[in-house]
Amino acid sequence: MDSYQTPLSSRYASKEMSHLFSSSMRFHTWRKLWLNLAIAEKELDLPISDDAIEEMRNNLYLDDKQFKIAAEEEKKRRHDVMAHVHTFGVVAPSAAAIIHLGATSCYVTDNADLIFLREGCDILVHKLVVVIDRLSSFAEKYRDLPTLGFTHYQPAQLSTVGKRCTLWIQELLWDLRNITRARDDIGFRGVKGTTGTQASFLQLFDGNHEKVLALDKRVTELMGFSYAYPVTSQTYSRKVDVDVLAPLASFGATAHKIATDIRLLANLKEMEEPFEKDQIGSSAMAYKRNPMRCERVCSLARHLMVIQQNALMTTSVQWFERTLDDSANRRITIPEAFLTADIVLSTLQNISEGLVVYPKVIARRIAEELPFMATENIIMAMVKAGGDRQEAHEQIRVLSHQASAAVKQEGLPNDLITRIRQTPYFAPIHSQLESLLDPKTFIGRAPEQVDDFLRDWVNPIRQKYAAQLSAAKEVELTV
């Protein structure tokens, strides 16, 4: 290991996503594009032999020897596409004269990128559905477990553990919608020539416009796309990259929020991510159980959120029909965006499959805060028992301030209820205090909201992706 490797592929990403953006897949895809171009040109009566087609079809994958030839050619010619045209011709000699016929480099580079964008979205969508499913099971399990709500990270009215989880799921559903939309909008660049005018193909077909249109349509079909962009320059518009990376960045924000919530709850000891038997939290502090998975999600999600800026800036500086200052940037930006999103999803799945909840800790924290929250209910009970609302309010105000001072200044437990029990004024409702302090009377419709949400919004997704969910396996992180 004497040279740098990106940890995105060497340390974190799935084999599936790493393979999609590998050199072997890229150049294999180029060869498929050249093959399908030749097939379509032959169908439209250009003189291409059956041997040429067969040799191309039999050599769509590169071996180590071919990679070496391509590297030597690229070093000599300073042109990666032409290096691979030559290398393909070595193993498909009958096709050597017609490989890349009429095309420009962007025929293979750009069309391949569009294929990778679409297939990358497919991988992410399937993983995202699994995360939604796992968290939905968690939300259902804890649908009615009361928990202290927080606004401004200060104690607020009660919610439930399951209801809080539905807030995460809802944003993930929006991410699913956005990534799916972006995926379905991706078109094919097609066969457009050097500046998008199809001049080279018009010359090949002796000025026959119908055959040029038929060629573009046929290659698009052969590569599995429903449509090609009607107009392009030398490249497809780099705005497509923006449109695809935008929902990935938005998902990054969702993931960061979810992981941050879990990290904060871990600090309160109410919930924890999985922590393995032999896992070490700190090299110095042996007792620590650091939320390293959620911290990783936050770390990578920040990276994912800013990658889109590269795509925006690249789009803005593409002069006229194209400039090459997009190339090196996109070689980094697009794979990194998908690899990062892939890693975040895998980590979220691992977290969601092993979340640990501590109900007794949650109950203790509720008990510390609930007496203050119950004061309005206590006042109403006193009024129903014949008391004066204003007098009840004043009595509660004085006792609440005394209890608050004991908590903040002396570090004592919240004893407001004890004070109420010891105050003769509240004798008419002493027997009701226990029921007035039942946490489940403070959670409103939270359990029903969980049920409705899962039934109306999540279950249709589960049904749509039932095959993917049944095939999904638990994620084990190697680091």
Active site residues: 152, 282
Query: Nearest to residue 113, comparing CAs of 343, 332, 340, 344?
Result: 332
Query: Nearest to residue 163, comparing CAs of 446, 353, 413?
Result: 446
Query: Could you count the other beta carbons within 10 Å of the beta carbon of residue 101?
Result: 16
Query: Nearest to residue 261, comparing CAs of 271, 252, 275?
Result: 271
List all residues 6 or more positions away from 184 whose beta carbon is below 8 Å from its beta carbon: none
Q: What is the bridge-based pairing of β-strands 271-272 and 154-160? A: unpaired
Query: Nearest to residue 172, comparing CAs of 300, 299, 345, 350?
Result: 345
Which H or E run contains 191?
A: none
Query: Could you count the other beta carbons within 10 Å of the beta carbon of residue 196?
Result: 20
Residues 171-190 as b or e (16 or more Cβ within 10 Å = b): bbbebbebbbebbeebbbbb
Q: Collapse the DSSP code of 44 into the 3-class scheme (helix H, G, I; strand E, B; otherwise coil) and give the result.
A: coil
d(CA 277, CA 60): 47
Phi, psi of 44 (to 5 degrees): -100, 25
C-alpha atoms less than 13 angstroms from C-alpha of 303 in its C-beta half-sphere? 19
List all residues 6 or more positions away from 38 whose beta carbon is below 8 Å from its beta carbon: 48, 52, 53, 56, 95, 98, 99, 101
